[in-house]
Amino acid sequence: MAEEQDQGKAGGSGKKAGGSVDRGRRVLMLGAAAASTVVTVRPALAQTTGSIMSCEIPIPDPGMSGNFIAPDGSVVPPGTPGAFPPPGRNLAGEEVRDALQSGGSIRGYGYEQSQAYTNYIRRLQTGMSGFTCYASIQMSRG
């Protein structure tokens, strides 16, 4: 009976002493998982560039429309000294990316106004309009 138990443990399972076959299988499975991750992530990164070309960021979020943007990017009541009126249009992801990367102005706006808008964009969080576009821009920078 002891022999049957020993055979059951060693036979048929493909295990060698110390579990070297199991380790080999784990390495193979991890390698396969890593390869599939590379295959799925690369197309996603390729799609990021396309999504930046077509995405838009409203300033401010539609739920806060009518408010102004302070130089630090916070949303403030209209008429707040030093604050800027909203752009009047959604900003294209491509122009936002260019302004964020260069530190320059958004086409059609002065430097200080552009800085206020880019500071607003940097403050975007999950659930706010434009966040997905901003996240795509961030992914494409790396």
Asked whether the beta carbons of 110 and 49 are under 8 A apart, the reply is: no
Instruction: Summarize pLDDT for 89-100 with one digit per residue, the tens.
Output: 999 999 999 999
Mean pLDDT of the chain: 78
CA-CA distance, 57 to 131, in Å (whole number)?
Answer: 8
Distance CA 5, CA 8 (A): 5
Give pLDDT, residue 8. Answer: 47
3 state SS of 70: coil
Map tokens 């396309």 to a residue: 50
What would the pLDDT profile of 38-54 be if each residue is shown by its tens digit? 444 444 444 545 566 78
Report the share of the chain in percent with pLDDT over 70. Answer: 62
More confident residue, 115 or 13: 115
Reply yes or no on whether the pLDDT at 70 is more than 90.
Answer: yes
Cα(first)–Cα(last) distance of the chain, in Å?
Answer: 62
Convert 108-128 to b/e letters by CB count within 10 Å (16 or more is b).
ebeeebbbbbbebbeebeeeb
- Kindly report the pTM of this predicted structure: 0.64
Q: What angle separates helix 131-141 from helix 93-102, to the nearest 10 degrees?
A: 50
Domain boundaries, the chain: 15-47, 55-141
Q: Determine the average pLDDT of the residues in 106-120.
A: 95
Residue 57 has pLDDT above 80, yes or no: yes
pLDDT of 10 over the 80 cut:
no
